Amino acid sequence: MLFKLSMSGLKSKLKDYLVLLVGLVISVSIFYLFQTLALNRAFIEANSVISQIQFVFHAGSVLLAIITFFYILYANSFLLSLRQKEFGMYMMLGAKKRKITVLMFIETIVIGFVSLIIGIALGIGLSQVIGQLLMKELEFTAGGYHAFYVPSIVVTCIFFLVLFMLSAILNSIKLSRVSVLQLVHSDVQAENSFVKGKKTFGIAFLSIILLAIGYAAMLNMATLQQLGIIISLVTTTSGTYLLFMSVLPLIIKKLKANKKRFEKGINAFTFAQLNFRINSLTKVLATVAMLVALGAGAISVGMAFKNNVMIMVEGFNTYDVVTHNPTAEEKNILADIKFDEKYEYHYKVDDQFVYYTKEDLEKQRPIIQTFQDEKSFRKKEKVTGELPVGSIVGLEDQQSGLAVPEEWAFALDTIQPYYLYPDHKIKIIDQKMFGDVKGKEGIAIIGKSDDFQAYMMEWKKIDELQQKKYGNDTNMYSKYRSYQDMYGFASGTIFMGFFLGIAFLAMMASCLMFKILSGATKDISRYQMLRKIGVRSTLLTKSIYKELFLVFLFPAIVGIIHVLVGMEMFSFILIAPYFRVWLPIVIFTVIYASYYCITVQLYKGIVFPKTN
Amino acid sequence: MKTQVVDVKNVKKFYGKKGENQSIALNGVSFSIHEGEFVGIMGPSGSGKTTLLNVISTLDHATDGVVQIAGTDITIMKQDQLSDFRSQKLGFIFQDFNLLDNLSIYENIALPLSLQGVPSREIGPKVKKVAETLGISAILSKYPSEVSGGQKQRCAAARALVHEPAIILGDEPTGALDSKNAASLLEAMTNLNDEQGVSIMMVTHDPLSASYCRRILFIQDGELYKEIHRTSTRDAFYKEILDVLAGLGTQKA
């Protein structure tokens, strides 16, 4: 009988349960998603340029487990709060406490079970879709990634069953501790627990120290290695949680303390809402901040690896295309490309030398890498200096004065690739001498387009045509090939970065939305009251926008700072980890902003009555 | 003759769509309240007294008729205008207090002033003054959950008063209070009415509460049934009210 009753109670709060279930399902599926990568050891080791990738994934698993743990605990305490009043009423009517406790236990387990099954199904679907989409988008075709991955299913099941069991026990204990009266009046009890001054400052101080240690560890990752990952993981995570628990209420209090601002219009209510809510929000916001850091971080790393490909390629090859004696077909393709710089050099080949003219080269000075120490890797300049007539590239004998200056030698390396005439040396002569040389005449073309990546198809075709022209045995080399090699090398890591980024962002979204929407029912009467005393609905809407904006703002700021510091970790493997870092952050901001708008709309839908 | 604060002319309110099962909540009610009056509205459950209050307080639209408050016809106003009108001209005291539990008592009382853009330095003195009148100066820094029901209702009254509205509307203001607290609230309201000339309209079903009023309108089945004025002592008025209620009862039976 009691069971039947409780089922009907469940039906009456279907909307809240739906919010709860969606939250749980998403956390299960994201966990699964992560594990399909983390447990697939062969795949990640084969496809990553980071040697300790396995360890990184282990650390990530631990972090995700911690976050999920808090999330599930919160979700279940929400479940309890949904049922408290009703259970209190049953008890008042004579139901035994033990029975109610059992009921609560069963309910938690059942909901956990249902969300586990749906979550894994969704997780398989998601990893299939995201995996396929990303592989297609990144032209990454490594096999070995399985969306349906049994070890991942097993681990997810065990992890969540334990979690749900734990929270079921916790819920039951909580329920058995409170009195009937407390239960019946549970919805009128204000959650007004204010932090004490001195203690808060202590915690805030501690959190900042922890974060400083974490950041220091990230900045010195190269020396600390695995230890660094562990240290930064532990300190950054705990520091973030403590920071939110101590500093955030203080900030809100400070905002509230400004009387002039506080007593202006609806601000009093907005800040009171925030202040009222912030204590229950701190842990969730810290979780969100961590997820922001992980999500935006993973995407940034993915993009940084992607950018790194181009940086490396540009570093090795200044000119996008180098071709000799282009065929008609090649010329056609070249004609369609917009070049920033394009030079043609005439040369002649006899049985000993390849001859270039001083005039030709000095008139069209190509760009070279200035020098190759690490910092000036990408620094480029046009060749300066004179080119002595009669000089020869690669001549050992410097004294004879016949060696080509070093800068020019670099330039000629590009113009006359080694593979064309492996047994010839290059000799510089003047125009008059050039006319006298007997030999096969040729033309060398080098070009730099306005955007290398925009003409991928063209480079590919030219590459193929050249290979055909030079013959299959020629060990050809081109910028396009270098790009392909680099990209193939990095694409596994890019894939993992994007994949995890998407997963974490989804989890973050559900976490925030869940928290805010789960509290919304309690706010209905507040907004109703404000409307009654004559607050314009536009003003109420403004208040909601403002309040939720602040709620969304804090974790985003902390998360982004984490990302910006954390990117430094990759400086040992990436040339410029911060190159274009604004791009993933802008992408993230756009996604985050749309979450914000959606949450505001959903929230408005709950707290405002339907207009007829 | 004092000016009219509320003027209700032939107000009708039907629920449900036309042609279908329409239920009639108000069927042509007309009356007016003058400045400085303390009027009670009584009637059995379902008589339409709450609907009447909702219509006057602009929370609900009348199907037909004209409602003027402080010379403004509220039946032709738009939603936002109504909101502004409520916040400037009306003060509310509800049965369940309707205080915001996340604001302190002080902040609750200050809210209507903040909403009207009163400068911060003027808010403090006003709140303190009204709190003194209602005897709640000592609890201003507390939160609603920390004070008693009677204190909450005084706070609600203070909030209703602080912006000096044209009229205070009470919806069973003593409904959730014990007799002692109810009496002290009603005395406070009477004082406001007597000494500061605040106009009050109060819906109640409690004869004892109603006996504090100067005039009582009885409503039955959506129509004005009877109107009585207090001419002598409160006790005598109380008996008079009981008589009318008894009459209402027998007529029904």
Q: What is the CATH number of the domain that holds B127?
A: 3.40.50.300
Minimal Cα distance from A258: which residue of B? B120
Query: How far apart are the C-alpha atoms of A326 and A317, rounded to whole Å?
Result: 20
Centre a 10 Å sphere on the Cβ of residue A169 and count the other Cβ atoms it contains: 12
Query: Is the Cβ–Cβ distance between B250 and B236 less than 8 Å?
Result: no
For residue B143, give how far its alpha carbon lies from the nearest alpha carbon of chain A (Å). Answer: 9
Q: Which chain B residue shows the shortest CA-CA distance from A535?
A: B83
Helices (H) and strands (E) in chain A, counts: 20, 7
Residue B65 lies in a domain: no
| Residue B140 to residue B147: CA distance in whole angstroms | 10
Nearest to A50 by CA among A502, A509, A497: A497
Least CB-CB distance to A259: which of B82, B120, B143?
A: B120
Q: What is the pLDDT averaged over residues B230-242? A: 90
Find which of B54, B103, B126 to mutate to test the A interface (most A CBs within 10 Å of its CB): B103
pLDDT given for residue B211 in this prediction? 92
Task: Indicate if the pLDDT at residue B85 is higher than 60.
Answer: yes
**To the nearest whole percent, how much of chain A has pLDDT over 70?**
93
CA angle B240, B243, B248 (to 5 degrees): 130
Q: How far apart, in whole angstroms, are the C-alpha atoms of residue B29 and residue B202?
A: 16
Give the pLDDT confidence of A460-487 residue by residue, as tens digits.
Answer: 888 888 888 888 777 788 888 888 888 8
Structure tokens at A149: 């991955």
* Residues in chain A within 8 Å Cβ distance of B84: 534, 536
pLDDT at position A192 is 47
Q: Which residues of A touch B113 (CB under 8 A)?
A: 263
Chain B residue with CA closest to A264: the answer is B114
Q: A158 pLDDT band (50/70/90 cuts)? A: very high
CB pairs under 8 A between A and B: 85
Verify whether the Cβ–Cβ distance A268 to B112 is below 8 Å: no
Domain assignment of residue B147, yes or no = yes
Total residue count of chain B as it appears in this document = 253
Q: For residue B74, give the DSSP letter.
A: G
Residue with tokens 């853009």: B117
Element (H or E) spanning B34, and its range? strand B23-34
| Interchain contact, A533 vs B111, CB within 8 Å | yes
Summarize the confidence of residues A311-320 as an average pLDDT.
82
Residue A374: the pLDDT is: 55
In the block, tokens 């504090």 appear at: B212
Q: What is the pLDDT of residue A612?
A: 45
Residue A119 scores a pLDDT above 90: yes
For B103, nearest residue in chain A (alpha carbons):
A272
Nearest to B84 among A260, A529, A534 (CB): A534
Task: Yes or no: say if A574 and A490 are a contact pair by the CB < 8 Å rule.
Answer: no
Q: Please report residues of A whose CB lies closer than 8 A to that of B145.
A: 188-190, 192
pLDDT of residue A81: 78
Q: What are phi and psi of B7, to 5 degrees?
A: -135, 110
With CB atoms and an 8 Å threshold, state whether B145 touches A276.
Answer: no
Least CB-CB distance to B87: which of A189, A269, A535? A535
- Residue B192 in contact with residue B146, Cβ under 8 Å? no
Structural domain harbouring B177: 39-60+89-252
Q: Which residues of B touch A526 (CB under 8 A)?
A: 100-102
Which of A376-380, A409-413, B26-30 is predicted least confidently? A376-380
Using a CB-CB cut-off of 8 Å, the residues of chain A touching B98 are 529, 532-533
Look at the block and give the residue holding tokens 């006899």. Answer: A350
- Rounded to a whole number of angstroms, the distance between the first and last alpha carbons of chain A is 39
CB A390 within 8 A of CB A402: yes
Q: Measure in Å the smallest separation between the Cα of B149 and chain A Cα atoms.
A: 13
Q: Is residue B28 in a domain? A: no
Q: Which residues is B220 bridged to in the sheet?
A: B223
Give pLDDT tens digits for A173-226: 888 787 777 776 665 544 444 555 678 888 889 999 999 999 998 888 878 878
Q: Name the band, by pLDDT with cuts 50, 70 and 90, for residue B196.
A: confident
- Residue A293: burial class (beta carbons within 10 Å; 0-12, 13-18, 19+): buried
C-alpha atoms less than 13 angstroms from C-alpha of B194 in its C-beta half-sphere:
10
Interface-testing mutation among B102, B113, B114, B147, with chain A (most A C-beta atoms within 10 A): B102
Note whether B86 contacts A259, CB cutoff 8 Å: no
Residues making up chain A, counted from first to last? 612
Interface of B with A (CB under 8 A): 57, 59, 79-80, 82-88, 90, 92, 94, 98-103, 107, 110-115, 117, 120, 123, 143, 145, 159
**Residue B107 to residue A532, Cβ atoms within 8 A:** no
CA B160 to chain centre: 10
Phi-psi bin for B221: left (phi > 0), alpha (psi -120 to 50), beta? left
- Res. A154 pLDDT band, cuts 50 70 90: very high
With contacts defined as CB-CB under 8 Å, which chain A residues touch B159?
Answer: 533
Chain B hits for A540, CB-CB cut-off 8 Å, are: none
Residue A388 tokens, joined: 């002595």
Residue A89: the pLDDT is: 79
* CB atoms A533 and B92 under 8 Å: yes
Of the ranges A62-66, A151-155, A533-537, A567-571, which is most confident? A151-155
What are the chain A neighbours of B156 within 8 Å (beta carbons)? none
Name the strand (E) or helix (H) holding B52. Answer: helix B49-56
Helices within A196-266 (DSSP H only) = 197-219, 221-224, 226-257, 259-262
Q: What is the chain B residue with the closest CA to A525?
A: B98
Which of B101, B162, B168 to mutate against chain A (most A CBs within 10 Å)?
B101
Given pLDDT bands bounded at 50, 70 and 90, which one contains residue A92? confident
SS3 B89: helix
Q: For B100, which of A269, A534, A539 is closest by C-beta distance? A: A269
Largest CA distance in chain B: 59
β-bridge mates for residue B31, sequence order:
B8
B14: in domain: no
Q: Using the beta-carbon criterion (under 8 Å), do B145 and A259 form an inter-chain contact? A: no
DSSP alpha helix (H) spans, B162-233: 179-196, 207-210
Tokens at residue B57, please? 């307080």
- Under DSSP, is residue B65 helix (H, G, I), strand (E, B) or coil? strand
Residue in chain A closest to B145 (alpha carbons) equals: A190
Q: Which of B86, B94, B103 sits opposite A268 (nearest CB)?
A: B103
Residue B17 in any domain: the answer is: no
C-alpha to C-alpha distance for A335 and A313, rounded to whole angstroms: 23
Do A532 and B86 make contact, defined as CB atoms within 8 angstroms?
A: yes
User: Is the pLDDT confidence value at A14 over 60?
Assistant: yes
Nearest residue of A to residue B78, measured between CA atoms = A536
Question: What are the counts of helices (DSSP H) followed by strands (DSSP E) for chain B?
Answer: 8, 10
Interchain contact, B113 vs A526, CB within 8 Å: no
Residue B22 lies in a domain: no
Q: Are B115 and A276 inside 8 Å of each other by CB? A: no
Measured between CA atoms, the residue of chain A closest to residue B87 is A534
Give the tens place of pLDDT for each residue, A586-598.
Answer: 888 898 898 899 8
The verdict on a CB contact (< 8 Å) between A526 and B100 is yes
Answer whether residue A425 shows pLDDT above 70: yes
Are the Cβ atoms of A531 and B83 closer than 8 angstroms? yes
Question: Closest to A190 (Cβ–Cβ): which among B90, B92, B143?
Answer: B143
Instruction: Using DSSP, state whether A298 is helix, strand or coil.
Output: helix
Residue B30 lies in a domain: no
Q: A112 near A164, Cβ under 8 Å?
A: yes
Q: From B161, which residue of chain A is nearest by alpha-carbon distance?
A: A533
Given a cut of 60, is residue A399 above it in pLDDT? no
Report the domain count for chain B. Answer: 1
Asked if residue B201 belongs to a domain, the reply is yes
What integer best gives the mean pLDDT of chain B? Answer: 86
**Which class for A424: exposed (0-12), middle (13-18), buried (19 or more C-beta within 10 A)?**
middle
**Burial degree of B250 (CB within 10 A; 0-12, 13-18, 19+):** exposed
CA angle B134, B140, B146 (to 5 degrees): 105
A276/chain B closest Cα distance in angstroms: 6
Q: How far is A128 from chain B (nearest CA, A)?
A: 46
Any residues with CB less than 8 A from the CB of A567 and at least 6 apart, and which? A297, A300, A301, A304, A577, A578, A581
Q: How far apart are CA A290 and CA A65, in angstroms?
A: 12
CA distances from B116 to A216, A448, B80, B170 (A): 51, 66, 14, 22
Give the pLDDT of residue B41: 93
Q: What is the mean pLDDT of residues A536-559?
A: 90
Tell me whether residues B143 and A535 touch, CB distance under 8 A.
Answer: no
Q: Which residue of B has its CA nearest to A191?
A: B102
